[in-house]
Amino acid sequence: MGNIKITKSETSKFDEIDWNNLGFGKYFGDHVYISDYKDGKWSEGEIVPYSDMSAEPALCTLHYGQTIFEGLKAFYSVDGGANIFRPDMNAKRLNVSAKTLCIPAYDEARFLEACHDLVLLDRKFIPKEKGQSLYLRPLVYGTGNFLGVHTSDTYRMIIMSSPVASYYAEGLAPLKILVSDQYVRTVRGGLGAAKTAANYAASLLAGTKAKEQGFAQVLWLDGVSLDYVDEVGAMNIMFVIEDELITPPLWQGTLLAGVTRDTVLKLADEMRLKVSERQIRISEVFKAHNEGKLQEVFGTGTAAVISPVGLLSHKRVEITINDFQIGPLAQKFYDVITSIQHGETKDERNWVMRVNF
Ligand SMILES: Cc1ncc(COP(=O)(O)O)c(C=O)c1O
């Protein structure tokens, strides 16, 4: 750590930030990490000022979408310095996405070093309040200039940062979610398990329509039968039916292997909860609700950590979950995870990469 070449910015965007109204992804740190792939290898990489980038009209990524990204967070720690939460998981998942999109793998140790050194340099951008953080957005894309559907020979990796509040304006407050019965995000054999632009492009129309109807997000069903639950736009989904914590499995390759999902499943195991990674039909969820067995529904994701779901709407049938209140398990997971992230609880599981300053 601390070995990456740095060119410091002569100006700072720091004073432009409205710290009382951070929102999500509106403001950016002063620096970015950049590494380029050429002639079969990645360059060492360096940290440079955040600035405009030029692009030719033929930039292949703009046309064909050979691009992947990640999302992770650095938190202000109560014992000084910052904590980056489970960045090793993001390094690995970036390479899973890379494989799916035919992009050359990035060295995981170098990825971690880059995240560390960027957070250290732009530490003044880490917000201090609980729940806020410096979001890191690693991005890799083809930099070739050509028309024609084939892979690029050259790539760029960028890591940028953004001081953020919670992703949802609601914070840890129950969301209204529309179960999509018309649009699908991905199918088996598709790109669903990769964090790639195409999956988010596929969600835009349904998401826009859902927002127009007053919903915060879309819950996606499987792309073949529209029966089984997959995930939410930017979160994995969990159901508590009687005493069972249920979340859709990863083996079909249609959903993202969320870091928060993994974190919650590990904590649930430690709490000796009955945990099932299994397929679940949307009809089972509604039936459980009608029988009074559906205790909680919540999403898990880096952006909001835990998002309780207060209402699900499917084919114009609406169910209200837990009286639109935050459920006890959602609250528990939120409290445990955020206290580890902010250094209030000892990091017994080695989930945190420290940035000392
Ligand atoms: C489609 C999708 N599913 C799930 C997640 C949750 O993943 P994580 O917990 O790693 O943020 C995200 C967010 O990154 C996402 O974009």
Predicted local confidence at residue 108, as pLDDT:
98
Helical ranges in 43-168 per DSSP H: 60-64, 87-100, 108-121
Q: Is the CB of 256 under 6 A from ligand 1?
A: yes
Whether 168 shows a pLDDT value over 70: the answer reads no
Residue with the nearest Cα to atom 12 of ligand 1? 234
Ligand 1 center to residue 7 CA distance, Å?
32
Ligand 1 probe mutation, 84, 90, 256, 265, most atoms within 8 A of CB: 256
Ligand 1 center to residue 146 CA distance, Å?
31
- CB burial string 145-176: b at 16+ within 10 A, e below: eeeeeeebeebbbbbbbbbbbbbbeeebebbb
Predicted local confidence at residue 25, as pLDDT:
95
Residue with the nearest Cα to atom 13 of ligand 1? 234
Ligand 1 center to residue 231 CA distance, Å?
9
Mean pLDDT of 159-183: 87
Mean pLDDT of 155-178: 87
Q: In this predicted model, what pLDDT tens digit does every residue of 105-114 receive, in sequence order?
A: 999 999 999 9
Portion of the chain with pLDDT greater than 70, in percent: 99
Q: Is the CB of 296 under 6 A from ligand 1?
A: no
Whether 170 shows a pLDDT value over 60: the answer reads no
> Which atom of ligand 1 lies nearest, measured to the CA of 259?
10
- Per-position DSSP letters for 140-198, written without gaps between them: EEE--B--SSS--S-EEEEEEEEEE--SSTTSSS-EEEEEPSS--S--TTSSTTS-BHH
> Which atom of ligand 1 lies nearest, measured to the CA of 70?
14
Ligand 1 center to residue 201 CA distance, Å?
15
Instruction: Place 131 in a pLDDT band, splitting at 50, 70 and 90.
Output: confident
Portion of the chain with pLDDT greater than 90, in percent: 95
Mean pLDDT of 187-203: 96
> Which atom of ligand 1 lies nearest, measured to the CA of 71?
14
Instruction: Place 171 in a pLDDT band, splitting at 50, 70 and 90.
Output: low
Taking the CA atoms of residue 79, residue 84, residue 88 and residue 91 in that order, the dihedral angle to the nearest 10 degrees is -160
Q: Is the CB of 337 under 6 A from ligand 1?
A: no
Ligand 1 center to residue 302 CA distance, Å?
7
Q: Is the CB of 231 under 6 A from ligand 1?
A: yes
Predicted local confidence at residue 172, as pLDDT:
79
Q: Is the CB of 73 under 6 A from ligand 1?
A: no
CATH of the domain spanning 5-165: 3.30.470.10
Ligand 1 center to residue 191 CA distance, Å?
14
Predicted local confidence at residue 105, as pLDDT:
98
CATH of the domain spanning 175-341: 3.20.10.10
Average pLDDT over all residues of the chain? 96
What residues are paired with 134 via a beta bridge? 74, 163
Q: In this predicted model, what pLDDT tens digit does every residue of 225-251 receive, in sequence order?
A: 999 999 998 999 999 999 999 999 999
Min mean pLDDT across 73-77, 168-172, 294-298 is at: 168-172
Mean pLDDT of 54-73: 98
Ligand 1 center to residue 139 CA distance, Å?
15
Q: Residue 316 and residue 180: Cα distance in Å, rounded?
A: 11
List where CATH 3.30.470.10 sits in the chain: 5-165
Tell me the pTM.
0.97
Q: In this predicted model, what pLDDT tens digit does every residue of 30-51 receive, in sequence order?
A: 999 999 999 999 999 999 999 9
List where CATH 3.20.10.10 sits in the chain: 175-341
Q: Residue 222 and residue 225: Cα distance in Å, rounded?
A: 6
Predicted local confidence at residue 130, as pLDDT:
85
Residue with the nearest Cα to atom 1 of ligand 1? 234
Closest to 312 measured CA to CA, from 284, 285, 342, 274: 285
Q: Residue 60 and residue 334: Cα distance in Å, rounded?
A: 41
Mean pLDDT of 94-119: 98
Mean pLDDT of 166-195: 88
Predicted local confidence at residue 187, as pLDDT:
94
Backbone torsions φ then ψ of 335, nearest 5 degrees: -65, -45
